[in-house]
Amino acid sequence: MRTRKPNQLLLALFGELVVDRVDEPVPATLIIDVLDGADIAAPTTRATLGRMATRGILEPVRRGREIGYLLTESGVEVLREAAGRVNRDRPFDPQGSGWTLVTFSVPERERTLRHRLRASLTWAGFAPLRDGLWVAPGEVDLAAALGPIHDELPPQTVTAFAARELPGFEMGGIVESAWEIDLIRQEHEAFLAEWRAPEVPDCVTPALTMRTALVADWLALLRADPGLPPQHLGDDWPADVSLETFRARRSEFAEESEREFAARLH
């Protein structure tokens, strides 16, 4: 299995099997076993759970001698927003026509907030065009994209515009400077190499680990591919094959992973 970040796997696990479905704490031992199958050591998982609790995404709850984790309201909001794109019928197609432009200004002393704002914009399909100006294909729902950090942004921090291409000022060169098309294709190819014929791990929760890893990789691919208009992409663009593969593997792992999760939850 490919190398993955533990926080990506945790978000995938909670987004796929917990949010809007489970109201009780998820045992830490279950979480550790799932990530162990994806080659994440137990101390790393525990440390990542602690960091996500500090960020206000998860809340630790004692269950007898064991610790479990609940999603906070902020965590639920983050995962619901991500689920909208994970489950979209055509996740790699631009939403609407034209382009969305964003400018923002965050003081130097607010580096963490600036990083989170940039991460939110990247997830929404934006790329930096030049200093202080970001662009995304289509009509981005910016309110939804910035929802998890909206209350932390001072007034007038972000300014956004809808834009369209003008004759004589075609977007081809802009797209090439903002996004590396070849690298996006490579991300699709890496996803397909991993999931067309996946190797099942030898672990306590194989189906649950596979489903978690699949969704984590899918989230990474969605972040890498902003959904550019097809005229800016090369021939045989692999997005449709990636989508078909994701849905097939997700369906394949669903039933058994649900059983594994339910058996360990209580």
pLDDT of residue 1: 61
Query: Which one is the CATH code of 99-163: 3.40.50, 3.40.630, 3.30.70, 3.90.1690?
Result: 3.30.70
- Cα–Cα distance measured from residue 8 to residue 133, given in angstroms and rounded to the nearest whole number: 28
Q: What pLDDT was estimated at residue 142?
A: 87
pTM as predicted: 0.91
Task: Give mean pLDDT in consecutive 10-residue pieces for the chain, a chain of 266 residues.
Answer: 88 95 93 96 97 94 90 92 90 92 86 88 91 91 84 85 88 89 96 94 94 97 94 91 97 96 89
> Which tokens go with 63?
């269950």
- 16, exposed or middle or buried, with CB in 10 Å at 0-12, 13-18, 19+? buried
pLDDT at 2: 75
Q: What residues contact 24, with CB distance under 8 A and at least 6 apart?
A: 68, 70, 265
pLDDT of residue 40: 96
User: Which residue shows structure tokens 């903002």?
Assistant: 178
Q: What is the domain partition of the chain in residue ranges?
A: 1-93+178-266, 99-163
CATH architecture of 1-93+178-266: Orthogonal Bundle (1.10)
What's the pLDDT score for residue 71?
96
Q: Both ends of the chain: CA-CA distance in Å?
A: 29
Cα separation of 76 and 20, whole Å?
A: 8
